[in-house]
Amino acid sequence: MAKIDLTGRDFLKLLDFSAEEIRYLVDLAADFKAKKAAFTPVDKLRGRNVALIFEKTSTRTRCSFEVAAHDLGMGTTYLDPSGSQIGKKESIADTACVLSQMFDGIEYRGFGQEIVEELAKYASVPVWNGLTNEYHPTQMLADLLTIREHFGRVEGIRLSYYGDARYNTGNSLMVLGAKMGMHITLCSNRKYFPNEALVETCRALAQESDGSITLTEDVQEAARGADVFYTDVWVSMGEPEEVWQERIRDLTPYRVTMDLLNQGSEDAIFMHCLPAFHDLHTGTGKLIHDKYGLTEMEVTDEAFESGKSVVFQEAGNRMHTIKAVMAATLGYRE
């Protein structure tokens, strides 16, 4: 097998990467994780700098980029959702050209996928997608690492996703599974199935990888024998307040419960990209409770807090996998 070299590449969506390249990034992340545990320094990218553009808020992704960059020896500049000229007084193309003069790489979290694609088109340094409406590729690498840590493999794993399956997380899990030979079931009210063109693309990829893509409205069917249960918020960042009522009505039947988890395989796990609404300890959770009477949303507190839940290990893996993406595309060498 030819040695994999991702130097200079953008990381915009998993569709742009082969299974071998994705495996390489996860292997590199596992190596970084072991080095971190052993206090082995990896600061070979000293003197480099990265720009972190966030047009939506973040805890995990921002912290992961910052800690990972610092571990690699790099400096970081954070541009918050309101603190830059991007899109308001300066075009994406001009921003890309300006930042490329100062930085060695650019992370972008924002709205349409076309924005990060345009940023990458005009930037002369690697651009990394930190979440768009359509895709969340760095989350997928962390999920893959977590699944591999738990099951020792990813091929043949049966992952059932419940909830809003037509947004960044649902779309990305479908692409991930199709590339890596997993059996992905997206379980939702059909209004929330991913767009048909993407489903077709993924089904074709799944045929080559011995994986499969199933869309169903049947909650029990999706649960039987599943190895991984996965869900995400019902209303994503950037969506209007007004959609809550309809989402609650449409997606409450697709809440992940302990009863569902118990129908999975013996060592089934629960995953969530986070943040999650599983109790009333959040501002939004309280507002929704006051307005609609719900005490938990996409996952019950019992399932979230259960021994099957690996959500915090998954969150920690964001940092190691994001480190791998920056290192690989910036030409890190041992």
Q: Return the active site residues.
A: 109, 136, 139, 232, 273, 318
Nearer to ligand NVA, 171 or 185 (CB): 171
Q: Which does 59 bind (CB under 5 to 8 A by kind): ligand CP, ligand NVA, none?
A: ligand CP
Nearer to ligand CP, 125 or 273 (CB): 273
3-state secondary structure of 45: coil
Q: Which residues here bind ligand CP, judged by CB under 6 A?
A: 58-61, 131, 139, 273-274
Nearer to ligand NVA, 133 or 329 (CB): 133
Q: Tell whether residue 232 is a contact of ligand NVA (CB under 6 A).
A: yes
Q: Tell whether residue 237 is a contact of ligand NVA (CB under 6 A).
A: yes
Q: How far is the CB of 233 from ligand NVA (least distance, A)?
A: 5
Nearer to ligand NVA, 17 or 192 (CB): 192
Q: What are the beta bridge partners of residue 51?
A: 77, 106
Q: How far is the CB of 109 from ligand CP (least distance, A)?
A: 7
Q: Which does 175 bind (CB under 5 to 8 A by kind): ligand CP, ligand NVA, none?
A: none
Neighbour tally for 112: CB within 10 Å:
12
DSSP 208-233: HHT-EEEEES-HHHHHTT-SEEEE--
Q: What character string, x for contact with ligand NVA (CB under 6 A) and - otherwise, covers 99-138? A: --------------------------------x-------
- Distance between CA atoms of 279 and 148, rounded to whole angstroms? 29
Nearer to ligand CP, 139 or 321 (CB): 139
3-state secondary structure of 114: helix
Q: Tell whether residue 273 is a contact of ligand NVA (CB under 6 A).
A: yes
Q: Which does 125 bind (CB under 5 to 8 A by kind): ligand NVA, ligand CP, none?
A: none
3-state secondary structure of 299: strand
Place of tokens 């720009």: 51
Neighbour tally for 78: CB within 10 Å:
16
Q: Tell whether residue 223 is a contact of ligand NVA (CB under 6 A).
A: no
Which stretches within 210-305 are classed as H helix? 219-223, 244-251, 258-261, 283-292, 301-304
Q: What are phi and psi of 52, to 5 degrees?
A: -120, 105
Nearest to 219 by CA among 266, 257, 167, 268: 257
- Distance between CA atoms of 102 and 153, rounded to whole angstroms? 40
Q: Please select the residue that binds ligand NVA; options are 64, 129, 138, 169, rule is CB under 6 A.
A: 169
Residue numbers of the site for ligand NVA (CB under 6 A)? Answer: 131, 167-169, 232-233, 236-237, 273
